[in-house]
Structure 1
């Protein structure tokens, strides 16, 4: 893990209390991809013995935010990243520790070019949550924007 990756994870852990509460860990964070993990804790389980949907949502949304911050952290002086919309689908029962993998859906340069042109760019981030056996338990799509300051 590079210093930049550690910095993104540390920054998000410090600034988002729910990440600390759930014990989410940042395993990989680049401008194109982020991988986070959620430990299996009985106090966060639902009625079927898996993580509560709220914990899974937080894991996926945090993964999407990590890739966004890694990709556009150098733009924070002029724009704030904000989620615009999200959709989550549940595919299989989630049990045990989970891993969320987020992938940026547009080239960073294209998004920055729109920001440079004076528009408020939007871009998708796709997230998959997997169990330890590799099965995809849920998918999330998040549309993010960079809202210029001012």
Structure 2
């Protein structure tokens, strides 16, 4: 199946072994809890970083034949205790066309992705920013 025929979830699972292994779901179970009964910080980080990768693949999946998306750096803030189901929502920080134009011009564009992690009551429990790049293939 080509990248054009896959949805974002399938593409993420096909291209990122960790995402495939984790299945991007973190059941609310004691093995994933921290010392205060919420999801461990590492689980929340992985969820948010995976959401950022999903939006990058959605925006730039058609560029994979000529560039590799790579996370450059990430910063996360834990705001409130997250209990129960949490959802990570990612937002691309630059227009995709602008990033592709920079790639077309021979550059190695960088762009931010912001992620909000929310509980079922919509309270934001964490916020993350991941800086991504599209590294042109050699």
Match of 2:49 in 1: 61
SS in 1 for 2:101: helix
The residue number in structure 2 matching 1:140 is: 128
Report the counterpart of residue 118 of structure 1 in structure 2: 106
**Distance in 1 between residues matched to 2:16 and 2:68, nearest whole Å:** 15
Relative to structure 1, the CA distance from residue 46 to residue 18 in structure 2 (aligned partners, 3 Å threshold; closer, same or farther) is: farther
Q: Which has the higher strand share?
A: 1
Cα separation, 1, equivalents of 2:17 and 2:120: 25
Q: CA deviation at 1:14?
A: 4.2
The one of 104, 119, 132 equivalent to 1:131 is 119
State the secondary structure of the residue aligned to 2:7.
helix
Change (3 A) 1:84 1:67: same
Give 3-state SS (helix, strand or coil) of 1:65's partner: helix
Measure, in 2, the Cα distance between the counterparts of 1:88 and 1:61: 10
Instruction: Give structure 2 stretches of 5+ with no counterpart.
Output: none
CA contact (8 A) 1:23 1:39 kept: no
Superposed, 1:4-83 pairs within 5 Å as 7-25=7-25, 38-83=26-71
Equivalenced residue count is 135
Q: Distance in 2 between matches of 1:5 and 1:112?
A: 21
Task: Output the CA distance in 1 between the equivalents of 2:65 and 2:22.
Answer: 29
Structure 1 unmatched runs, 5+: 26-37
SS of 1:88's equivalent? Answer: strand
Distance 1:70 1:54 in 2: 24
Q: How big is the shift at 1:23?
A: 4.3
Superposition TM-score, scaled by structure 1 size: 0.83
What is the rounded CA distance, in whole Å, between the counterparts of 1:127 and 1:71 in structure 2? Answer: 15
CA pair 17-147 structure 1, distance change in 2 beyond 3 A: closer
**Alignment root-mean-square deviation, CA:** 1.8
